[in-house]
Amino acid sequence: MTIPDRELEFSPLSGRVTRDGVTVQVHIYRFAGTDEEWTLEVVDHEDGSTVWENSFDTDVEAYEAFEQCVREGGIRTFTEDAPTQH
């Protein structure tokens, strides 16, 4: 059985974020044309990816979770070698 590729809808809150000289890509997305919850993923400069285990009711909640993580651990938490779980 094959699963067809599904188009993703990206939140306008997605994009590059730079803090303290470190830039990451924030991806907030869900399947296009659905009311499914939003997924939050942060990609560092080496294409390392951190994906939150839980999803979010709104794209704003997802972005706020990213901001909270940066406030608590700094943006470098996404570029360190240690595996990160959120």
Residue with tokens 């997305």: 29
Q: Is the pLDDT of residue 66 over 80?
A: yes
Higher pLDDT, 86 or 49: 49
pLDDT in tens, 76-86: 999 875 444 55
Whole-model pTM over 0.75: yes
- Predicted confidence band of residue 3 (pLDDT cuts 50, 70, 90): low
Chain centre to alpha carbon of residue 2: 27
What stretches of 1-86 adopt beta strand conformation (E)? 8-10, 15-19, 22-31, 39-43, 49-51
Spatial CA neighbour of 13 closest among 27, 30, 32: 27
Per-residue pLDDT at 83: 46
User: What is the pLDDT, as a whole number, of residue 1?
Assistant: 57
Mean pLDDT for the stretch of residues 67-84: 82
